[in-house]
Structure formats: structure tokens, C-alpha cells
Amino acid sequence: MAQGSSLSRPSGGHTAARSTNSKADKLRSLAGQLLTFGFDGTTLTPELRSTMRDLQPGGVILFARNIDSARQTHSLLKATQKLSERPLFRCVDLEGGTVDRLRDVLGPAPSVQDVVGSGLAAASREHGRLLGAESAALGFNVDFAPVLDLRLRPSLAVLGSRTVSADPVATARYARALLLGLRDEGIVGCGKHFPGLGEAALDTHKELPSISKRWKELWAQDLAPYRLLARQLPFVMVAHCAYPEVTGNAVPASLSRKWMETILRKKIGYRGLVISDDLEMGGVMNGSTVEEAAIGTILAGADCYLVCHNSELVHRAAEAVVAEAERSKVFRTRVEVAARRVLLAKRRWKPLQRPFPAAPTENTLNRLRQWLWVFAEELRLATLAR
């Protein structure tokens, strides 16, 4: 290898190629941090290995389809983390009740309504500790909970026992305690679904709801939990729901700069990470492609986005974000700003800095199962006594 002449007087073409590749690699690495994705299967398949290496995502999310047992889940998460150059957001939806990805391996966790209905003062933080301990034992570090949507009549058929109360102060009180409980166990929480689905009669997994509620009412009611918890929420998840009285159009909040930048960031003063709900949901996909949605949510102010199921759509979204950042200086700046926020959070949040936990022992799993049963019984008896 003739290093002398080539290093002292490199050819213009060689230098340009190295510079271009370096910039392209850096951009792809930054864009990857914005993506958290889901996948099929319960093991590290060659396809998953390739996706992790190629995209270097900010996070992964597991669902019931990925979870056969506690140790298998721990092994799968550990394998994905080993393929990542940076700490991963290892995410799960674990609220208890109807949204409980771990019920088949550890047992059912009480719902939000089970907890608040008991009237026990310490139950909300205990709920957070229990959900956090379950999550941490299996290798997760992020739980997309609590739900901050108000318990209003239009959404009862959709949200059921997932919501706390029609009272925003009571909702914030439960959420604050739950977040503390999660943090006690080394788990990062997330408030959802901003700006609020309490008045939504449609399921955003299938359709785009439109809530015709005036700004003053939204500010006093649905947005109150976010205002009260602005300093406590590590993540805020933005909903696929339109609010035409506020924006003057049918664009979902997940694609709305007014909602994410003007209201959440500037008016409320939120400084944590903003993540869009799953871009495969009908609430956004019925009106745009996954490429348009991924670009649109970042351009509107999201720091991260979810693509939770289809492998092809994961790659299409990721590649679209990179291609648009290469084409547009404005969008590249947005990607860089969002990636800096993500990387700063990963450096600052203690759960993201912890070494990957050891595999759970049978004693640990049995203690968790007993805790679930005892807590559920305490709630049941307290509710009956009221």
C-alpha cells in the first residue's frame, strides 16, 4: 500500500468520494435514531439482524406476537441491543387491563380503572412500580404509559378501562404517581395520546377521528394533564386525530406543526421527546403513504416515529427520511435537531445508561407473579369495601 504519495497529495475524486460517503453515513446514522420499529417473530432472524445493522434504529418495540416467555423476550431484546451502536429504546405498551403485552407470561396486571376505583392513596405509584418491575425484568427500558386521555363518553367504547377520569387534575395525579413508580424501577414513561382522544368516538388504529372542540375547552380540559406534567414526561406520544377548530383543517395532530411545535413545545413549554403514534395505523395511512407520514411527522416537529408491524413499510419509511434529508436542507436540519434531542436523552436518562440486565431467574418471575396477584386482590377488596 503506497501510503506516502496518496496521503500527501490525494486525488480530488478520492477525497470527494470519502467526504460524500462520510456525510451520507452520518446522515443515515442520525436518521436511524428517529425510528422505533416493530417486527414479527420471537427470535433474532437473519432479516431482523440485517434491519438492525442497516437502519441502526433509535429503538425497537415488542408486542404480544414477539413474546413467548420471559427468558425468550429477554434474549430477543438483548440480541437487538447487541446489534445497536447506541443504547436502544426497548419499548413496550404495558398499561394493565386490556393493554398488557406480558399477561400470558407473567399474569394479568390490573387496569387503570382497577387502580383508581380502589381509592387506595398509594395504589397509583404501586401500579407504576409493578409495571416497571415487569418491564425491567424482561429487558425493556421504555413503557408507553400512562394514558392521559380524559374519560369522556364518546371514547368509552374505544378506550374502556384505560382512562382515569373526566377530571384532568385526577388524571394528572394518577399519571404523576405512575411515572414515579416506573422510574423507581428504572423505566421511562410516556404520556399519550396528545392532545387528547377523550372526545374521539373512532379508533385511530382504523380511522382518523375528528374532534370539533374549541381551543379554550381543549386547553382547560384535554391539555391540562400535559400542562401539569410537562416537566415529568420523558416522552409525549402524538395522536392520529384531527382538531379542525384549532388548526382549520383535517390534518392529524401527528402531522401538525401547530400542535407539536406551537402548542406542545412553545405554549406548554414541553422539553422532552415527541414521538408519533404508529404510522401504520389507519388514522394516518388512510390519507397518506408511510413515506409521506414519516417525512411529515418529522417536518411537523416529532423527534421520533413508530412503524410497528410491516417490514417493508419500516424500510420504506426509513429510506424516505434519508432521501428527503439528502434532497432538502430544511428537512436535514429537522432530522439533525431531532436526532440531537434523542441522543441527548440517551446520554441523560439513567435507564438508558444502565448495562443490560441479567436474565430473570425463576424466583424473580415467581415474585412478580405473586406481586401481581396480591396487588389485584388488594385493589379488589378495597373496591368492595368502598
Active site annotation includes 93: no
Q: What is the DSSP letter of 140?
A: -
List Cα–Cα distances, 20 to 25, 137, 323, 326, 329, in angstroms.
8, 43, 14, 11, 15
Burial (0-12, 13-18, 19+ Cβ within 10 Å), 335: buried
Give every CB contact of residue 305 below 8 A, 6+ residues apart in sequence: 34, 35, 36, 275, 276, 279, 293, 294, 297, 298, 317
Catalytic residue among 40, 54, 104, 205: 205
Task: Quote the cell numbers at residue 369.
Answer: 407473579
Query: How many residues are listed for the chain in this entry?
Result: 386
C-alpha cell at 96: 394493565
Helix (H/G/I), strand (E/B), else coil: 187: coil
- Closest C-alpha among 237, 257, 238, 235 to residue 246: 257
CA dist 175 and 21 (Å) reads: 46
Bridge partner residues of 235 (DSSP): 190, 273
Annotated active-site residue in 143, 149, 277, 303: 277
Q: Quick check: is 240 catalytic?
A: no
Cβ-contact 273, 235 below 8 angstroms: yes
Residues classed as catalytic: 205, 277
